[in-house]
Structure formats: structure tokens, C-alpha cells
């Protein structure tokens, strides 16, 4: 079980998506849990948006995340969800 950073609920890893900051600084989503880098788990698009507003991810990853990267992550999340 992992904790979603958006709603603080514990869920099976299969229901969560990892937001990863790669060693080169790029951000992406990781459904396999295997990408290198530091990350945080979210369970839904709403939680991703919540995380964006709270700035909690920025604190965890010790980086600032520009709007365009958040937009890309949110889009990626929705595209992924549509494919499941």
C-alpha cells in the first residue's frame, strides 16, 4: 500500500500513478513504478490538481514545477486514464 499525496489515503500501488522527477530534472508519470528519480503517488486527476495547488510536491521533490509541466502532467494523466 502506498499513500496518495493528494488525499492522504492509502491504496494499492496498482491504483496509484507515480509522478517522477528524473535525474535530469524532467517530470513525467510512471505507472510501472520503475522509472528512476524521486516521486510521489497520486490516485486520480483530482488529486494531481490538489497536489498542484498545495505545492506539496514541490516541497517533496525540492524543486519548482512550472505551469506548463503541470499542464502536461494533467493532460498525460487524462490521456492515460482514457486508455485504461
| Residue in 73, 82, 71 with CA at minimum distance from that of residue 42 | 73
One character per residue 51-70, x = contact with Zn ion (rule: CB under 5 A): --------------------
Q: 37: helix, coil or strand?
A: coil
Residues facing 2 on adjacent strands: 11
One character per residue 19-58, x = contact with Zn ion (rule: CB under 5 A): ------------------------x---x-----------
Which C-beta is closer to Zn ion: that of 24 or that of 59?
A: 59
Q: Half-sphere exposure (CA, 13 Å, Cβ side) for 4? A: 21
Selected range binding Zn ion among 4-12, 25-33, 58-66, 76-84, rule: CB under 5 A:
4-12
Amino acid at each position: 500500500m502506498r499513500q496518495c499525496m493528494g488525499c492522504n489515503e492509502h491504496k494499492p500501488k496498482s491504483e496509484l500513478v507515480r509522478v517522477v522527477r528524473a535525474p535530469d530534472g524532467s517530470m513525467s508519470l510512471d505507472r510501472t513504478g520503475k522509472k528512476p528519480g524521486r516521486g510521489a503517488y497520486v490516485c486520480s486527476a483530482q488529486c494531481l490538481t490538489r497536489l498542484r495547488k498545495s505545492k506539496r510536491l514541490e516541497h517533496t521533490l525540492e524543486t519548482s514545477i512550472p505551469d506548463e509541466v503541470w499542464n502536461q502532467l494533467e493532460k498525460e494523466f487524462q490521456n492515460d486514464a482514457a486508455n485504461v
